[in-house]
Structure 1
């Protein structure tokens, strides 16, 4: 198995140049190379220059997003996961990984464990306050989950919390490993090995680095690296505002028991709230930088620092030889697992409205083109077919298919209105059909029959077919309804009356398109 404990490549045997211009990975170790930062181009560093995202541009500030989400695991925790497992996994002995994590770290561990170590048994211990979306995401990746009550971010040394429980599980079995991201130096050393050198190679003129403080591994590692690689780089740590919550980062008070040397790794700390974090993340996403709330959190911390330096007249003290202040903030993951939180934090006013949103509660059943028959296939009627005629009673009496049952819908008239072109009509018709076809009397009439739904233009019958199919009946409709049916049936005296009625009916010009 590969050794990640040194500063060499993940797998020296397959090490290739850090410049992989074709970005192609082949052979039996292709996945290992794909995950290995030494076998791929650096993760992107993207300048955000629009005034909306860099309000300090005219002050000589340049802001860059380091896209940690571009790693194969799509989050900042993959490199630490690689380093942690390389240090802790014992080949031919370890068969189970246990970690307290709210998502990104343990998901990365599960992928790294499979790709590099052939371990398919990763257990996540996490807070019972974790969102349903994140729980399902971890289940999606095959993780076994155990929930714990109490604080969502327990102190690492708290014997009542899941962090210490995970440690105890590893102590009870030689085949179980708890990498323990909160106390294992391999966490922050991953950023000394990979993230820091990448940034330095991409932007040697870096002036400021903004990093969120969670386990503090990222801030500790990058701060430690730049203290030596470029001492003039200002290292900004960003903490959650007291009493607030952003996925990933911690408040300053919760960092107190963390044993990593984070205090020596940051020059200043800013405190950021959740509303600003989600708002700025949303703006980044809409401008092409896809990232989660902790990324907006990091950028907002950078804004706060720059604003204070500008107000104090010390901003230009950070400038490089080119006269510019070059700032980097980390984009840690994608926004998708936090979608519900964006809506709850920011409210509906932050999002475009949905036209005809009421349709989310009606017309809920499946449709199938095979259930909509051309008139030539519908008549003559097949054996054991019962026609469900939804037209008004007088029209059914003048001309109908037999055998039939007439259910005159209150929401259906003889005009050309289609429920698929008028949302309010669809809402009302679906509710009426759903209620009618739930009646035990009608269900007994339909039992054992093939049902053929008909209406004036075929569209209401198509809705009816969808409802009936959802209730377990074998139902079809006629495309075009009775209007189309008249073209393939022998003409009757009633046809001329109906034809005149149809020709005189027009589509209401005020009909709204769905």
Structure 2
């Protein structure tokens, strides 16, 4: 990597990464433009009229999509031994070890990253970690164990690394390269982007982010007020810890903060939701940081000391970190915030019906499919319908009502009238109630093993009034493993082609013992 003294001088303005090491450059902050710093519009900033401007530092825009990418880069750079290290092990609730797995592959060619974490981790987060190729081991006990507790996964990972020279446990809880990554990269980026900065706000988990940023700004601009945010007692937001759980953390975080705010989960998820809907896509810990900043500003305003934070321009410039993305926490947003925050789903009852796939190739034009089922176009055109015989390997199911079926139908058809299908019934795709009724009825009909077994030996063609109900039926039949198609446009399409005109009717014995009616009309 480029030396930190040269950082920010070789900004890749075009944001393009060339060569065989392009991915390494893409992940390296020294080869990237700085991550975005975005001011909140006034309607998201209740202190705008008080001369406060608030900026989101979008750590989510790193290729690894979270703030833990910087520590992962810095810790692995100093701990992976080339041609020797073949495994990374870390106790992490998600973001840190996911970042490590990507950094290990891209920067060091290490493909085996193993995650130790709490058995209380959500299923969505576990699947996300599996998605990124992590080998997962669960541990019981507290979801956020104390770093030095010998019974927890943190010390288990440490012991395993001590027993093998090829295993590296970066141990984000004790590794100073964790917080120093923000001295190396995040702090300098923010200061170059916003030298007017007056307030800096970050959450406290391992405390690495706040320790690094607080330490950096104490050196370059001591006037910056450094706000650390902890979770409210008894509450939980993914990532940060409560103040009580900060006691055993060995990083010099106390010297890196001036003020601590404690924030609850409801406000955190609410602010995250609002930011996401306005285009700043970020997770609950980002809303958590913003709420902490709001609380501090509110206390200052009530005490009449808000103006003391302002710089020479009379404006207070505040930066809070957006740390991760919301997607892995979607279920928790609904649990924390309630249904009132979300539009209801219309036709939600359809979630339980019409569950099988559709395919355009299963919906066939009449002039294309009828010769396949009855014979060549020449014989169809030259023969009366009463003399046309359904090929033995085929079956035709007609879903229309009995009277309409007996008035006219394709030769050899079997009538399976659906109670929800009539000549004037709306399409199931325009009326959700009709679709629900039809699908339930079709599923019931085709639970008949004898019927399905008989049909399964044939190619099935389904016909209805307008083609749409037959399309639903075809979807059900295909889901049961049958070869089935429907006639696009149904009986109406057949009449449009001149098939199915009103003519005298003769009867014949059809398949499955059904009595069928045959109109003596040519197909063309």
State the TM-score, normalized to the length of structure 2: 0.91
2:228 touches 2:260 (CA, 8 Å); kept in 1? yes
Aligned-partner SS, 1:358: helix
Q: Given the alignment, which residue of 22, 29, 36 partners 1:30?
A: 22
- 1:385 touches 1:403 (CA, 8 Å); kept in 2? no
Structure 1 residue 87 corresponds to structure 2 residue 78: yes
Task: Find 1:401's aligned residue among 406, 410, 420.
Answer: 410
Query: Which of residues 294, 301, 312 in structure 2 aligns to 1:303?
Result: 294
Select which of 432, 441, 456 maps to 1:432. Answer: 441
Q: In structure 2, what is the Cα distance between the partners aligned to 1:130 and 1:87? A: 29
**Contact map agreement 1:279 1:296 (CA 8 A) in 2:** yes
Give the match's secondary structure for 1:193.
helix
Give the structure 2 partner of residue 287 of structure 1: 278
Shift of 1:488: 2.7
Q: Is 1:375–2:361 an aligned residue pair?
A: no
Distance, in Å, in 2 between the alignment partners of 1:275 and 1:18 is 42
Q: Which residues of 2 match residues 92-107 of structure 1 at below 5 A?
A: 92-107=83-98
Indicate whether 1:475 and 2:484 are aligned: yes
Q: Which residue of 1 aligns with 2:56?
A: 65
Residue 184, structure 1, aligned to residue 193, structure 2: no
Aligned to 1:415: 424
CA distance in 1, matches of 2:198, 2:499: 86
Q: What are the within-5 Å matches in structure 2 for residues 94-493 of structure 1? A: 94-380=85-371, 381-382=373-374, 383=391, 384-490=393-499, 492-493=501-502
Task: Give the number of the structure whose alpha-carbon radius of gyration is greater.
Answer: 2
Using the TM superposition, give the Cα deviation of residue 334 of structure 1 relative to its aligned residue in structure 2, in angstroms: 1.1
Report if the CA contact (8 A) 2:408-2:500 is conserved. Answer: no
Structure 1 pair 208–360 and aligned structure 2 pair: CA distance change class (3 A): same
The Cα shift of 1:338 comes to 1.0
Instruction: Give SS of 1:106's match.
Output: helix
Q: Report how far residue 248 of structure 1 moved.
A: 0.3
Q: For 1:444 and 1:200, locate their aligned partners in 2 and report how far apart those are by CA, in whole Å.
A: 73
SS in 2 for 1:294: helix
| Contact 2:71–2:178 (CA under 8 A) maintained in structure 1 | yes
2:35 is aligned to 43
Preserved contact between residue 209 and residue 233 of structure 1 (Cα < 8 Å):
yes
What is the SS of the residue equivalent to 2:334? helix
Partner of 2:386: none
Equivalent pair of 1:60/1:323 in contact (CA under 8 Å)? yes
1:45 and 1:66 in contact (8 A); partners too: yes
| Contact 2:399/2:470, CA 8 A, preserved across alignment | yes
Deviation at 1:18, TM superposition (A): 3.5
CA contact (8 A) 2:456 2:481 kept: no
State the SS of the aligned residue for 1:411: coil
**What CA distance in whole angstroms lies between the structure 2 residues aligned with 1:147 and 1:162?**
8
* 2:307 counterpart SS class: helix
- The aligned counterpart of 2:383 is none
Consecutive unaligned residues in structure 2, runs of 5 or more = 375-390, 506-524
The CA distance in 2 between the partners of 1:171 and 1:125, in whole Å, is 16
Q: Measure the CA separation in 1 of the matches of 2:33 and 2:473.
A: 56
RMSD: 1.6
Give the superposition deviation at 1:200.
0.7
SS in 1 for 2:396: strand
Displacement of 1:487: 2.7
Does the CA contact (< 8 Å) of 1:100 and 1:125 recur in 2?
Answer: yes
Deviates more, 1:401-410 or 1:188-197: 401-410
Question: In 2, are the aligned partners of 1:416 and 1:457 still within 8 Å (CA)?
Answer: no
2:518 equivalent in structure 1: none
Query: Displacement of 1:247 after TM fit?
Result: 0.5
Distance (whole Å) between structure 1 residues aligned to residue 28 and residue 501 of structure 2: 78
TM-score (norm 1): 0.92
Evaluate the alpha carbon distance shift between residue 302 and residue 245 of structure 1 in structure 2; reply closer, same or farther with a 3 A threshold: same
The CA deviation string for residues 155-177 of structure 1, in whole angstroms up to 9 with x for no partner, is 00111110001001101111000
* Residues 373 and 476 in structure 1, CA contact (< 8 A), matched pair in contact too: yes
Q: Following the alignment from structure 1 to structure 2, what is the Cα–Cα distance between the partners of residues 378 and 226? A: 75
Q: How far apart are the structure 2 equivalents of 1:368 and 1:26?
A: 42
| Runs of 4+ with >3 A deviation | 6-9, 15-18, 489-496
Bigger drift between 350-359 and 239-248 goes to 350-359
